Chain A
């Protein structure tokens, strides 16, 4: 009963946060960020159905997102010219159905194998569709893209969708429903067998399941939700280009899911939020945003293979043993110098890339021609790196202590 209540509480909380966000942050900018997050969450979760749950590394997931989006925009156009009568609220469904159909088609031949072969086919399909989108300009609009107008549909609950806020509330509905369904999918026979096939496709065959069929079902489901995300994108931006279905978008969703953490349902949500926020916070201030993103991604793959969610979950043992507090000071002692190093390094990169003679960054005024600025930054970076390296052994010891098995006495008392 308690577990059930906790579960309902979690979902209720999720919905409440989604609904209350625009009340707390009501600027136009904030709403537009929330919309981006909503789209990213659905898209990243759908990607995790493939890679995290099903073990299929795809380099072409944007195809289903983009196709769903393009079809949704075309439906918007038809509504604009009063060729069809349709509800705006159901536009993401158009995207989802498109994604499903495309998924059925591509999945029918690409899910035979996982691993490298699957990755290559997904890359091939992705490049094929992206290149075709520039050829078939009638449907895809070529380099210019296709645009529609979401305000021509019948009003819904008094919303005419002129403002982004209206779109946000519609998106909340779709995000919540999609998240719920994707979560529930992991608890069904098909979803559980997707994990089994990911772990050991051969064994799955010997307990009666065709690995190919199991993958196919996950693949179609992932395509559907990617299409829903594409439909939301079409509603939010009213505009799609070839970039929405090419390798750039496919790579971005891989980044989001991976940085967030593939092994956990909540991971891609974290990834989508972090990356959208980073995109907004950094890309306005620096031209080097993508460089930082690349560094972050490579470092994540190297040092946090289970992503941010995995990093948080690493502390579960220490938390259960009530020893989390013992880590606080060592974290601080390593974290602060590390932060100094990162900030100094960022300043160095920015300064060497600056077009103005004086760079205002993080409250500092750094002159490109001043040796002092350079020396200070190099000193800061060096000091940060040195102190970080010196304090890591202590952190490691603290970590081991916090995770060490309980003593005999402790265990007996616990049981």
Chain B
């Protein structure tokens, strides 16, 4: 059964249609990559799933429940977490606080103003574990705005996985990283998303083929192919539309 299904999804801004009828089912536990040329609508698709934009038409269902017109925080509470292409953290809070904030709602703290965070041993231990996982334990007390770029990317990833969401959306998780940093990041992503459903947008084909068990190709707002990495590699249409040049680049 699909954990997430998109049916006839459309999104237009004024006269420009960015997403032009996307049908896609994501299986539970799947690692799914969405690739496509610039401007194909990959980020827009993420924004639709995570609630930043409302769809113009079509349906988005997560475990049978419709996500259309839910605000982002309601979607997050259902078990969908995401990272952003452009680093999107709380710059004036410490690295530790960033992760702890991401853990608050999933741990059931809601809007409570009668519990002191420093006394919540379980929460703080869990925060420490996430920091260990993403390799930022040594940077815990530094304001998140002041750490290195690749560390901010790791933090971004940490915030996405901290709450134990079932479905994780990663928008270009290794963008702007060096080769060795990207390799580390892939290892990290593999480790922290184990047993979870992952959808990611990525430009780097090596990483896509390394991580994904299924790939969808988005071109001008439409999915032109969807299948296992080997199928996609062999697909003539994909070759022509996009992959050829990307592969020859790599």
Contact = CB atoms under 8 A, between A and B. Distances in A.
Whether A and B touch (Cβ < 8 Å) is answered with yes
Given A204-B73, A210-B71, 17 more contacts: A187-B118, A188-B116, A189-B111, A189-B115, A190-B111, A192-B97, A196-B101, A199-B92, A200-B91, A203-B88, A205-B71, A207-B105, A207-B159, A208-B163, A209-B105, A213-B111, A221-B113
A261 to B, nearest CB: 14
Interface of A: 184-185, 187-193, 195-196, 198-200, 202-211, 213-214, 217, 221
B44 interface: no
B106 interface: yes
Interface in B79-119: 81-82, 84, 88-93, 97, 100-102, 104-106, 109-118
Contacts of A208: 73, 76-77, 104-106, 163
Contacts of B81: 206-207
A206 B76 contact: yes
B72 A205 contact: yes
A193 B114 contact: no
Query: Majority SS of interface residues in chain B?
Result: loop
Given A196-B101, A206-B81, A188 B113 contact: yes
A4 B224 CA distance: 61
A206 B72 contact: yes
B5 interface: no
A189 B102 CA distance: 11
Could you tell me the dominant secondary structure of chain A's interface residues?
helix
A189 B72 contact: no
B216 interface: no
A210 B224 CA distance: 36
B73 A189 contact: no
Nearest to A213: B111
B50 interface: yes
A210 B73 contact: yes
A187 B105 contact: no
Contact of B93 (A196, A202, A207, A209): A196
A192 B91 CA distance: 13
A59 to B, nearest CB: 24
B106 A188 contact: no
